[in-house]
Amino acid sequence: MSFKPASKIQDLQYFGEFGGVNPSISDSSTYTFLTAKTMSDSFEGHAEGCYLYSRHSSPSNLYLGQALAAMEGTEAACVTSSGMGAISSVLLQLCNAGDRILSSRTIYGGTYAFMKNFMPKFNIQTDFVDITNLEAVEDKIDKNTKVLFCESVSNPMLEVADIEALADIAKKYKLKLVVDNTFSPLSISPATLGADIVIHSLTKFINGSSDTVAGAVCSSREFIDQLRDVNEGACMLLGPTMDSLRSASVLKNLRTLHIRMKQHSHNALFLAKRFEEDRLKVVYPGLHSHPSYKLFYQMMNPQYGFGGMLTIDVGCIDKANDLMELMQKRNLGYLAVSLGFYKTLFSAPGTSTSSEIPEEEQSSMGLSDGLIRFSIGLDNDIEQTYIKMRQCMVELKILESHDIAVV
Ligand SMILES: *Cc1c(COP(=O)(O)O)cnc(C)c1O
C-alpha cells in the first residue's frame, strides 16, 4: 500500500479559539501558570499541554510540526526559522567532539560549508562521498562515524539517493540516517523508506511563495524531545525558533502543496522531454536517460511526479548568463536562487548556490559552469513557455534552428 502524505495532512482537523477554521495564532512569547508547581513541572518537561516560553514551543509551531510529521509519516516534528537552522541543530545534536559525519558530496552549498568549515571548530569532521556508490559509502565508514547525511534528490546535480539501501547500511553500523528532502516533498517519503531524521527547508516548495525562510525536522518523538530539551536540546539552546505568525502562514500554504507539486512536476517533465528531444543536455529524474530514473520510480509516491527541478548544461558560463538574462527579460521567470516559487527561477549554481564548493570538487562531481538550475513554475500554458524558451536559445545560438525537434 503506498503512502499518501497529502491525505495524512488533510486528516488533521483544526478549530480555532472562536471556532475558526484555522487554528488561532499564539501571539505570546511567554505563558502564565495558575500554580507555581505546574511551572516547575513544565521546566522538567512533565506538564503535558502547558507552554512555557515560545523558544521552547508554541501552539502555532506545534500545529505546523504536527502537519509536517503527518506528511513525512514520523511521530513528531519541530519547526525552525530556516532550513540551515534545522540542519545545524540536528548535526550538533547528534555529534560530539571527535565524531565524524559521512555525507553525500552533492549537497546544498550552505550544508557543505557548515560541515566543511564550521563543524571542525568542534572537532567534528566530515567525509564526503559519492552517495550513489554504496560500496564507497560503506568503505568510508569508520569507528567514529555517527551520521550518514544525504539529500533525497541532490542539489544541484539531481542525483537520487537509494534511501532504503542507505538505511540498511546505517542500521548495520549504528549510524543515524539524516535525509534532506527539500527537493522532493510528497514525492519521496524518506522516513517510510528507513531514514531516521527528515529535514526540510520550508523556504522552498512547502511554503512555495518565496516570502519567508523556514525549516523543519521530522523524526521520532524521542529525538524531537531531545532537540527541544531545556538543558541539552540544540533547538532550545541555539535558538533557531520559528515565529508563530510565520508558522501559521506556512501551515496555510502547506495545504495546497499537493496541487502545486503535481503542477511543478507536470511542467518540469514536459520541458525536460522537449529539451531532450532538442538534444540539449537536460538532467531530470523523470527522464529515462537519468541514471536513477528507476530508483526514483521505485521510491516515489507516484501521484506527485518527479518534482519541479531540472538542469540544462549550455556549455559555458557566458552562454548560461546570456540565456538567463534573456529569459528574465521575456518574463519567463526570474534570475534568482531558491526554488518552489509559482514563477520559474533559474541560476547558475557553480557561481552562486554551490560557490562554497571549490572548483576542483565542482568539476569532479560534474558541476560545469554552464549548468543552469531551473525550478520550474506553475505556468498554466507550459507549451507556450517551451516555445518562448526555445526561441531565446535559438537567438543565442544555444540551439541551432535545425536541431529543434518538430512538435
Ligand atoms: C535552501 C536549502 C537549504 C537551506 O534552507 P534555508 O531555509 O535557506 O536555510 C537546505 N537544503 C536544501 C536542499 C536547500 O535547497
Helix (H, G, I), strand (E, B) or coil at 78: strand
Q: Which atom of ligand 1 is nearest to the CA of 87?
A: 10
Range of the domain at 36: 5-254
Question: What is the predicted pLDDT for the residue at 403?
Answer: 62
Tell me how many domains the chain contains.
2
Grid coordinates in use for 321?
Answer: 548568463
Give the residue carrying C-alpha cell 542525483.
Answer: 159
Do 231 and 110 lie in one domain? The reply is: yes
Distance 215 CA to ligand 1 centre (A): 8
Strand order in the sheet with 145-151: 76-80, 215-219, 197-201, 176-180, 145-151, 100-104, 125-129
Where does a domain end: 238, 254, 270?
254
Question: Which of 204, 209, 375 should be mutated for ligand 1, with most atoms under 8 A from CB?
Answer: 204
Domain shared by 57 and 186, yes or no:
yes
406 occurs within a structural domain:
no
Percentage of the chain lying above the pLDDT 70 cut: 97
The CATH number of whichever domain residue 268 belongs to comes to 3.90.1150.10
Average pLDDT, the chain: 94
Please indicate, yes or no, whether residues 196 and 339 belong to a single structural domain of this protein: no
Verify whether ligand 1 is closer than 6 Å to residue 204 (CB atom): yes
pLDDT greater than 70 at residue 331: yes
**pLDDT tens track for 340-366:** 999 999 999 877 767 777 777 777 777
Residue bearing cell 516555445: 387
Q: Is the CB of 112 under 6 A from ligand 1?
A: no
Q: State the distance from the centre of ligand 1 to the C-alpha of 311, rounded, in angstroms.
A: 18
Whole-number Å distance, alpha carbon 99 to ligand 1 midpoint, is 24
**The one-letter amino acid at 274:** R
Q: Is 185 in the pocket of ligand 1 (CB under 6 A)?
A: no
275 and 181 housed in the same domain: no
Atom of ligand 1 nearest to the CA of 182: 13
Does 182 sit in the ligand 1 pocket, CB within 6 Å?
yes
All three cell numbers of 393, joined, read 536559445
Contact 392, 321 (CB under 8 A): no
pLDDT interval class at 244 (50, 70, 90): very high
Tens digits of residue pLDDT in 9-49: 999 999 999 999 999 999 999 999 888 888 888 777 666 77
Ligand 1 centroid to Cα of residue 363, in Å, is 22
Instruction: Give the mean pLDDT of 373-386.
Output: 98
Separation between Cα atoms, residue 305 and residue 297, nearest integer Å: 9
- Residue 376 confidence class, pLDDT cut points 50, 70, 90: very high
- Name the H helices within 23-162: 36-43, 59-72, 83-94, 109-113, 134-140
Q: Same domain for 151 and 226?
A: yes
pLDDT at 339 over 60: yes
Q: Is residue 404 part of a domain?
A: no
201 CA distance to ligand 1 centroid (A)? 5
Do residues 293 and 381 both lie within one domain?
yes
Question: pTM, whole model, 2 decimals?
Answer: 0.95
Task: Provide the pLDDT for residue 355.
Answer: 73
